[in-house]
Structure 1
Amino acid sequence: MKRKGKHKSIAQKIYSRKLMLPAAAIYVVIFVIPTFSSFFFSFTRWTLKDWEWIGLDNFITFFQEPSLLIGLKNTILYGAMTCGLKVVIALLLAILLTRGWKIEGYLRTVIFIPTIISTIAIGLMFKSFMHPTNGIINQALDQLGIGSVFWLTDKRLALLSVALVDVWKGLGVATLIYVAGIKGIDRTYTEAAEIDGASGVQRFRYITLPLIRPAMNSVLILSLIGGLRNFDLIWVMTGGGPGFTTDLLTTVIYKQYANGLYGLSTAGNVILFLVVALIAFPVYYYLTKKEEVY
């Protein structure tokens, strides 16, 4: 009987591994091979027909680009802004949407709608809204006597303006993650705190906030990586301008690719990958450790 059970266990393991083979093959083809190919071609000068090994020349040239340091700074700043605003605003919205109101479902739908709209469409829409003279935002400000604001052409406001649009689009997913976390809290904790005379702020600080930490960590990591890798919204709304003031690493890479410098742009992609990894993985490790404490 023991032998039969042992053979059955081995058969189950082999069978389960066979079921994993299709998914593993797809993963290798779609992710592993392109990733290692990118690392290889970043050390070459390549075209669609041939390639030439040039070592670190692409990386040296990339770091000599005048817009690179601006793009790197903007990438980190943009990621921090969008991530911080999503984490805080989505949490406030989630608290409001779990108060037991009758229209909660409707409000959740309204908040989630921007998420399912194309990023390109949203970029074009807000580019029109933020037009210096014909945009409805500035027209409304004129009616209030405030005057027009150059949202996308003022070097001091352009990056912030795009970041706010990014936050508006991404709030839906972040809010729903928070709502799921809050709904998953056992009511006995809050009921016990109410009996003990805890105020609403105290219940939030000592019960809700620690128990939704996994949801908060998910929102933070997803928002941070999304902000660091943003391209389409920036490109549609500003094209990296005015000047280089809204250039991110992604837009710098695209400009190199558009100029036919494929090896240089591939090196830029490797640099972007390393930047995201060097920021995201330590943050993820720190947040995971904090979860273990709680």
Structure 2
Amino acid sequence: MANTLSTSKATPLAPAMRGLRKPPRKRQGPYPLWFLLIPGIIYFIFFIVPTLASFYYSFTRWDLFTATWIGIENYQTFFQEQALVIGLRNTLIYAVLTSGLKVVLGFLLALFLTSKIIARGYLRSVIFFPVLVSAIGVGITFTILMNPETGLINVALAKIGIDGPGWLTNPSLAIISIALVDVWKGVGLATVIFIAGLVSIPGEYYEAAEVDGAGKLAVIRNIMLPLARPAIASVITLSLIGGLRSFELIWSMTKGGPGFASDVIASVIYKQYQAGFYGLSTAGSVVLFLLVTIIMVPLTRWLNRGEV
């Protein structure tokens, strides 16, 4: 009887006792949160702190020992510079031209290098090799090759009766010539990214297209381009950021010349720094940072929309 009563009393209490139990802890990831501490500290020291310091010093007139607050005077001076207007225009032209050509040529080369051809691995290495070469070395080499009088390019054109232009001395051609050299150097990386995107597409899609009688263009348009979208987004993002902040190749080939014809924002900033206007050059660096952010953040969100 006692056992029966105790059981009957315990039964209505059981749901209440279960309600008092602590909810099960959520399963954590494979690594504890304190693993993020050291990378977070490194990121804070080497990125957040210098970025905030740059914003502060852009409002000052400073040298290695002192800093005097002058407000937005540096920005006013920077935007009144004629070289800035030319540099901003050249930066946008350079970034759009180089990124567009890298996307188109990289995709075409990837199509070629994923097909059944002889020495495919060797050709992939040849295409990627310029990526490994120093930008300064490439710039010096092509400066010699593009010499209007003794350069190999114009000498070769003269052999077939064509009078070669001043690739780097003509103000109308200088920035375009450097952009073409940049494409030659960087298209290998775009090609490798596209190859990775194309070979990751399951073969069933191609088999289904073959059964349906789809042609090459239909396969590219309806299968390759949609499924290689992450690779396309990566190439556009990397090449456009590289184009907006380009400096080494331009400086090694023309130093922004002739005149201001091939100046970009980064070369204008460097010239101000060379002249001892440290606050002005810091303001230019902030302008470049904001320009890249304003262009790339919405573009990246648009490129990655709908991606799982």
With structure 2 as the length reference, what TM-score do the two structures score? 0.90
Tell me the residue number matched to 1:106.
122
Aligned partner of residue 289 in structure 1, secondary structure: coil
Q: Displacement, 1:132? A: 1.0
Q: Displacement, 1:148? A: 2.6
Q: Which AA in structure 1 matches 2:255?
A: G
What 5-or-longer segments of structure 2 have no aligned partner? Answer: 1-20
Q: Structure 2 matches for 1:143-158, cutoff 5 A?
A: 143-158=159-174
Identity of aligned residues (%): 51
With structure 1 as the length reference, what TM-score do the two structures score? 0.94
Q: Deviations over 1:76-128 (max 9, x none)?
A: 11100001000000000000000022311101100000000000000000001
Larger displacement relative to structure 2 (252-261 or 144-153): 144-153
Q: Displacement, 1:291? A: 4.5
Q: Displacement, 1:5? A: 6.9
Tell me the residue number matched to 2:186.
170
Q: Displacement, 1:222? A: 0.5
Q: Structure 2 matches for 1:201-220, cutoff 5 A?
A: 201-220=217-236
Q: Which AA in structure 2 matches 1:24?
A: G
Q: 2:55 aligns with which of 35, 39, 54?
A: 39
| In structure 1, distance between residues paired with 2:216 and 2:306 | 24
Is 1:287 the counterpart of 2:303 in the alignment?
A: yes
Q: 1:260 aligns with which of 268, 276, 288?
A: 276
Tell me the residue number matched to 1:24.
40
What 5-or-longer segments of structure 1 have no aligned partner? Answer: none
Q: Provide the aligned length of Structure 1 versus Structure 2.
A: 288
| In structure 2, distance between residues paired with 1:128 and 1:15 | 53
- Which structure is larger by alpha-carbon Rg, 1 or 2? 2
Q: Which AA in structure 2 matches 1:273?
A: F
Q: 2:246 aligns with which of 230, 234, 244?
A: 230
Q: 1:123 aligns with which of 134, 139, 148?
A: 139
Q: 1:138 aligns with which of 154, 157, 169?
A: 154
Q: Which AA in structure 2 matches 1:96?
A: F
Q: Displacement, 1:4? A: 11
Aligned partner of residue 185 in structure 1, secondary structure: coil
| In structure 2, distance between residues paired with 1:233 and 1:92 | 25
